[in-house]
Amino acid sequence: MQENFSLKPFNTFGVEASARYFSEVTSIEELIETLKFSNTQTLPLLFIGGGSNILLTKDFDGSAILLNLKGISEEIIDENHVLVTAKAGENWHQLVMYCLEKNYGGLENLSLIPGNVGTSPMQNIGAYGTEIKDVFESCKVLNLEKLKQCHTEALEVFNLEKCRFGYRDSIFKHEGKGKYVILEVTFRLTRKDHTIDVEYGAIKSELENLGIKKPTIQDVSKAVINIRQSKLPDPKVIGNAGSFFKNPTIPLSQFEALKLKFENIQGYPNGDFVKVPAGWLIEQAGWKGRQIGNVASHKLQALVIINATGNATGKEIFDFSSEIINSVNEKFGIELEREVNII
Ligand SMILES: Cc1cc2nc3c(=O)[nH]c(=O)nc-3n(C[C@H](O)[C@H](O)[C@H](O)COP(=O)(O)OP(=O)(O)OC[C@H]3O[C@@H](n4cnc5c(N)ncnc54)[C@H](O)[C@@H]3O)c2cc1C
């Protein structure tokens, strides 16, 4: 455990903030030891995976714990199914690549999402028409309250129902917030009869560009990687955390009223509600590519806020996001919600 430790290398925004205590754990035993120490000091906890969905707005006066638990195992279920279990500290994209090498299908549309496996259930990561809930079997968690009370059954298993997944949402962002550490996640994948989903976004046209008519799961992954690399800034080059806001869902009546005023407004109907692309709203409000001080909205994707100079503070990025929220609200009467976890 180290004191007054810089978290700059552990957040993809690349902002400077220090943690009062920092430790990296590679096993459940090490994690429990660290938690016992933090409990005796009654320190607030911050778990860190890949740091690609956090914005550190100030120094963290508590115990930051980097979860570096590694290992992947599998269990063949039947001719067409396999359960693949990965520990929290495994890199997400490397897990996707591991599965594709073995020809296990289900994760290909989620290629190249930054971050770690242990965080994937937090916001039910999703891209190109797939969310992890579509292939999720279960996850093993450590119940922090039970651990504090020295309960012998602090380890629990959450199935699909218990996780209450929604759009970029799960129980871990609500009642479960701060109560559990996700230790490993199990996915149910296909071995032969794969479902190929190329309907979303530009996957089809990218496959055409690649000259592929009958795509395999590996081809879909390649197409997704190409699209993502052409559209999204690489956090290793420009600090960012991907989409900063969720796509808002508004009542159909509100959408219809907006359509009279803004005839180009886009929306994806879902019952009595319509999901509106936040990127479009932000762009229409004049923010695409705009920079204030060290912070900007990305020139190719307005939804992505970037640390444009590399010197932005978390507070500057937060304030910039507040200005976008106000501006979109003024123009459209829609309140954007941040997807990134504000620390
Ligand atoms: C360029 C870019 C593109 C992106 N594209 C997408 C996308 O297409 N779809 C998508 O869904 N997301 C996307 N993201 C967001 C991000 O990749 C995901 O949210 C990812 O799951 C975050 O993982 P992480 O390990 O980096 O999380 P972190 O940032 O380390 O943590 C996020 C939150 O989870 C908590 N946490 C971390 N690990 C655990 C654990 N094991 N148990 C309990 N709590 C934990 C942290 O305290 C924090 O509150 C993108 C990000 C970037 C930078």
Q: What is the largest CA-CA distance in the chain?
A: 61
Q: Are 135 and 187 in contact (CB under 8 A)?
A: yes
pLDDT of residue 248: 97
14 lines ligand 1 (CB under 6 A): no
Supply the pLDDT for residue 176. Answer: 95
For the chain, list the domains and their CATH numbers.
2-67 (3.30.43.10), 72-190 (3.30.465.10), 239-342 (3.90.78.10)
Q: Is the CB of 119 under 6 A from ligand 1?
A: yes
Task: Write the CB contacts of 262 (distance below 8 Å, at least 6 apart in sequence).
Answer: 284, 332
Ligand 1 atom, smallest distance to 12 CA: 53
State the CB neighbour count (10 A cutoff) for residue 159.
11
Q: Tell me how far the alpha carbon of residue 115 lies from the centroid of ligand 1, in angstroms.
A: 5
Instruction: Quote the pLDDT of residue 201.
Output: 76
What distance in angstroms lies between residue 191's CA and the mean position of ligand 1's atoms?
Answer: 27
Residue 39 has a pLDDT of 78
Side by side, which strands form the sheet with 295-297? 239-243, 304-307, 295-297, 291-292
- If you average pLDDT over every residue of the chain, what do you get? 96
Cα R_g (the chain), whole angstroms: 21
What does the pLDDT look like over 24-41, one tens digit per residue? 999 999 999 999 888 777
Establish whether residue 120 lines the binding site of ligand 1, counting it when its CB lies within 6 angstroms of any ligand atom: yes
> Ligand 1 mean position to 224 CA, how many Å?
19
Please indicate whether residue 48, judged by its CB atom, sits closer than 6 Å to ligand 1.
yes
Q: Whose CA is nearest to atom 8 of ligand 1?
A: 127
Ligand 1 site-directed mutation target among 53, 221, 303, most atoms within 8 Å of CB:
53
The residues annotated with a catalytic role in the active site are 168, 243, 339
**Low-confidence residues of the chain, pLDDT below 50?**
none
How many A from CA of 82 to the centre of ligand 1? 25
